Amino acid sequence: MDKIFLNRMCFYAYHGAYPEENRLGQHFYVDLEMTLNLQPAALADDLSLTVNYGQVYELIEQEMTQTKVKLLETLAERIAGRILREFPVAEVRLRVTKPNPPIPGHYESVGVEIVRKRS
């Protein structure tokens, strides 16, 4: 199967388990890989036979900026579920990264990655 990907999308949002995260907000990064057959669209040179990247971006932006959740796991699950419901993809691999969570230690970032398939 073929893949479409949108990498390193950046959003300022208010997700987190701690009150200051919900109040102050922070940057999040989203990486997405969608599996589907791209050959029909490629042969016909027809956008209607594939997934419109702009529409996918808008869906992710909406979930990132218009909702508030405590867990990255919840956020990833919601985004992946909507993509599978609204677009003709077989599989979604989604990574949500929080570069500056308010936890002690030295690290570049924390995040989750999920894979969901059409059932």
pLDDT tens string 27-51: 999 999 999 999 999 999 999 999 9
Selected residue with higher pLDDT from 26 and 103: 26
- CA 30 to chain CA centroid, Å, is 5
User: Nearest 5°: CA angle at 108, between 64 and 94?
Assistant: 40
**Each residue of 47-63: pLDDT tens digit?**
999 999 999 999 999 99
> Which of these ranges, 26-40, 66-80, 95-109, has the smallest mean pLDDT?
95-109
Verify whether residue 117 is a known catalytic residue.
no
Domains and CATH numbers, the chain: 2-117 (3.30.1130.10)
Token pair, residue 97, equals 């990264």
Which member of 68, 70, 98, 117 is catalytic?
98
Q: Tell me how far apart the alpha carbons of residues 78 and 73 are, in angstroms, rounded to a whole number.
A: 9
